[in-house]
Structure 1
Amino acid sequence: MTRHIEFANIHNFRDVGGYAASDGRTIRWQRLYRADSLSWLTGDDAERFRALMVRTVIDLRGPDEVRQRGRAPETEGQRYHNLPVEGRPWNIRQFDPEVGLGRFFADRYLEVTEDGVDNLRTAIETIAKADSAPVVVHCVAGKDRTGLLIALVLALAGVAEDDIVADYALTGLATERFIADGPRKYPDHPIWPGFGVAPAEAMWLFLTDMAARHGSVEGYCRKILGLDAATIEDLRANLTDPIPGG
């Protein structure tokens, strides 16, 4: 199976399945998707999205973004959760080219782990439930807020850091389309050096800093988010399958 699912009007929709997890298991396909803004799904794109039979949409954008841009196409029986996780608005004027995009992004992700505690916990608890799947997580570009949440989920499932970083960096394949579409979709959003870019260094730095602060991603999820052992076990059980022949 392929990770990216092609749509005409969104550029970063992909399946998170296939990665090796803990205990000889692997992340199941067609259980968890990540995406850029689903509000752009119309016409044939909307029909293709409905064909995926998504049960749960987790929208990490703020309420103002939802009001201005709209939300995912509604489907009968689908659950929609608006769970904004950013507390501090980004100031891209703080970006220092000498420090680099990786450090700038990693610092912003660390802020989200401080500011978005309640909604990050709710999002992970939702993903952990068997009847939530298939789940799609999205924000605007499907890179920063979405990338952070997916990194937490994959780490809890026992996916190696190399694969977590690689999954994050796949957003870079959509960068040219993001930049080309940016002025039409987001005329009020500056096209800056970090627009649509997902440097692997950003996720490496983030995971390294999480380990330094909390011992591990799981340590953060237990101590700061307050996730209990049963939720983490449910997440692993519902997102993973034994490797065939293993």
Structure 2
Amino acid sequence: MSRHIPFERLHNFRDLGGYTTADGRTVRWGRLFRSDSLGKLTGEEWERFLALGVGTVIDLRYPWEIDAKGRVPEHPTFTYHNLSIEHRPYDQAGLGPDVETGPFLAEKYLEVAHDGVEELRQVVEVIATFATSTDESLVFHCASGKDRTGLVAALVLALLGVPESEIIEDFALTELATERLLADWRDDHPGQEPSWPGYGRAPADVMRLFLSALTHQHGSMAEYARDLLKIDECLIAALRRNLLEPAEEPEWPSGARTTEICRNSSAFGTAPPAGRSHAGSTSGSRGNSARITSGHGWPTARSGSPRSAPPARPPVPGNCGGTIPQPGAHSPRAPGTCTG
């Protein structure tokens, strides 16, 4: 079964089904999709999208990106959620040619993982709520379907029990869309070329370094989700029960189903109500203390860590066409041109 769903205007629309978990189960096909911006859908491609039976769309972009580039058209068959997980805009295309793709993007992902804890938790809650209540599919996306989308895909696949090697493999599939993403950028910037060679790229080292840094700080993706996102076993059970095959029925007290128990617990305490568009803009924890220093090294050791690390490289200035928020600031409507 093909993982890539062909569209003319969408370059990175993929099915997350088919991956095998550590306990031998398989992610169900046709339930969970990742994509670049759905605001590009028109005409026959819009009809093809609707035919996928999408019941929920999660847009991970900033509100100002949506204002500038548009969003998926409204339709009665699905619910739309805007949950902007990134809090510090930057311009990838404008980075210098000496910026290493792997370490730089891995560090940005680590930043998002700590800045966007509230929104990331809500993303997982929406996916779990969708999964327990319907047989329709869900799509989450950002601009290029690469960075913010790649982080969410890694989080969900890890919670489902998919091994790290397959999570990295899924991330790197965006490389197949790089040339088309570059062509879109050139169409928007006639006569120009990105100054950063890493624009539109998704080498495996990015995800490998990010997962290594997250594990170094928190022990594992699961521990990060438990400690920072406050995702409990009930929420993980709901994800696994409804997104994995075979969907074995666990034994619950008095015959209660996963859905019933989870709806009565804190796991679903902040999920947006179904059938309503939702925009999230609250800040999360600022606990990011590691820096990625090389494509093959360990993240910078924290205070008291027995592992030494190479000197941290100097921070790379970002530019998003306007004022860049200072570290720790959250400005969801700042003007700029970001990707991922």
Give the TM bin, normalised by the shorter chain. Answer: over 0.9
Larger displacement relative to structure 2 (151-160 or 68-77):
68-77
With structure 1 as the length reference, what TM-score do the two structures score?
0.93
Query: 2:43 is matched by which residue type in structure 1?
Result: G
Correspondence for 2:182? 179
With structure 2 as the length reference, what TM-score do the two structures score?
0.68
Correspondence for 2:71? 71
Q: CA deviation at 1:23?
A: 2.3
* 1:80 matches 2:80: yes
Query: 1:147 is matched by which residue type in structure 2?
Result: G
- Contact preservation (8 Å) 1:171, 1:197: yes
Structure 1: gaps spanning 5 or more residues: none
Aligned-partner Cα distance in 2 for 1:94–1:215: 31
Structure 2: gaps spanning 5 or more residues: 248-340
Correspondence for 1:228? 232
Q: CA deviation at 1:70?
A: 1.0
Please give the secondary structure, in 2, of the residue aligned with 1:140: coil
Q: CA deviation at 1:24?
A: 1.7
> Going by fraction, where is helix more abundant, 1 or 2?
1
Correspondence for 1:195? 199
Query: 1:48 is matched by which residue type in structure 2?
Result: R
Q: Deviations over 1:37-73 (max 9, x none)?
A: 0000001110110000100000000000111111113
Please give the secondary structure, in 1, of the residue aligned with 2:177: helix
Q: 1:30 to 1:96 in 2, by over 3 A?
A: same
Larger displacement relative to structure 2 (44-53 or 177-186):
177-186
Correspondence for 1:168? 171
Aligned-partner Cα distance in 1 for 2:189–2:217: 35
Please give the secondary structure, in 1, of the residue aligned with 2:125: helix
Query: 1:153 is matched by which residue type in structure 2?
Result: V
Percent sequence identity is 52
Q: CA deviation at 1:195?
A: 1.9
Please give the secondary structure, in 1, of the residue aligned with 2:46: helix
* 1:215 matches 2:237: no
Q: Over the residues paired in the alignment, what is the CA RMSD in angstroms?
A: 1.8
- State the structure with more CA Rg: 2
Q: Which runs of 4+ in 1 moved over 4 A?
A: 91-96
Please give the secondary structure, in 2, of the residue aligned with 1:57: strand
Q: CA deviation at 1:181?
A: 2.0
Please give the secondary structure, in 1, of the residue aligned with 2:66: helix
